[in-house]
Amino acid sequence: MTTYFIRSLLFCFFLIPFIGQSQNSPSIRWEPGISLTKKIDSRWSYNVSIMGRQRFTNYGEGEKNFKTDRWEIKAFGTYTLLGGKKLSLGYMYRTYDPFESESGWEHRITQQFAFITNFGGYRLGNKFRIEQRIRSSDYLTRLRYAISNDFPLQGENLDPKEFYLIAGNELVYAFNQLGDELENRFSLGIGRLIKKGQKLQFSVVSRNSDLISANRDHIIQFESVYYFSL
């Protein structure tokens, strides 16, 4: 099992492009959330999630160290194709700096294609996304590709009250009339299946943005999500 995990990590690291050092110290964030997935029939399901984000470091001169950065709600409808491949359409509403005198907003529409591939005997989750981000300040289109691998720590199958590990990597390419941006997100986490249909997962995400420019930014984000499946 240890070999399994090491190989998964190496595979994810091979996907990470060359990353230079950020000019600033990493920004620290925490993002708690709750996610509910409901299966309607053998083909259709939907997901609703609520997330928040707290930041613990300054983003600019005179800003507070601890601040509620954003709140968001997402909804996805998913149709399962032959072979377990999935097509999804999603909508998100986000508010920036909700407790500040000046706040912002975003509407996001997402198209997603997800599937499983086998690599060296291991199952890897793949997600391709196209996003249209309509924000109070501008409009942005993003292309995203994510790959992940998770497995139980006790035995071959995940049973209630057992733990699992998950590792993943994602590339995010954004573009609009102002220019292009490339970001890489590597994540490593641990979760526990509380009981059938419920799990709690904690992850650490290393986000390196502006990879195609000289001004690179590094964010360390801690995520905690409680998942419900009905």
> In this structure, which amino acid lies at residue 60?
G
DSSP state of 1: -
Tokens of 112: 């997603």
Closest by alpha carbon to 27, among 54, 1, 49? 54
More confident residue, 121 or 46: 46
Would you say residue 140 has pLDDT above 50? Answer: yes
Q: The tokens 């497995």 sit on which residue?
A: 151
157's CB contacts (< 8 A; 6+ apart) are none
CATH no. for residue 46? 2.40.128
- Residues 131 and 102: beta-carbon distance below 8 Å: no
Per the structure, the count of domains in the chain is: 1
> Which region among 11-15, 43-47, 159-163, 179-183 has the lowest average model confidence (pLDDT)?
11-15
DSSP state of 25: P
Would you say residue 6 has pLDDT above 70? Answer: no
- Residues 117 and 124: beta-carbon distance below 8 Å: yes
Would you say residue 42 has pLDDT above 50? Answer: yes
- The pLDDT tens digits of the residues spanning 189-210 come to 999 999 999 999 999 999 998 7
Range of the domain at 81: 2-229
pLDDT at 155: 85
- The pLDDT tens digits of the residues spanning 11-33 come to 545 445 444 455 567 889 999 99
pLDDT at 112: 98
Give the pLDDT band (50/70/90) at residue 36. very high
Share of the chain above pLDDT 70, in %: 85
DSSP state of 82: G
The arithmetic mean of pLDDT across residues 162-186, rounded, is 92
The arithmetic mean of pLDDT across residues 124-147, rounded, is 95
Q: The tokens 């986490």 sit on which residue?
A: 189
Would you say residue 227 has pLDDT above 80? Answer: yes
Would you say residue 216 has pLDDT above 60? Answer: yes
> Which region among 35-39, 118-122, 174-178, 182-186 has the lowest average model confidence (pLDDT)?
118-122
Q: How far apart are CA 86 and CA 47, in angstroms?
A: 13
Rounded to two decimals, the pTM is 0.87
- Residues 18 and 209: beta-carbon distance below 8 Å: no
pLDDT at 57: 78
pLDDT at 141: 96
Rg of the chain over CA atoms, in angstroms? 18
Closest by alpha carbon to 107, among 138, 135, 70, 144? 135
Q: How far apart are CA 199 and CA 56, in angstroms?
A: 27
- Residues 107 and 96: beta-carbon distance below 8 Å: no
More confident residue, 220 or 17: 220
Helix (H) or strand (E) holding 213: none
The arithmetic mean of pLDDT across residues 61-75, rounded, is 85
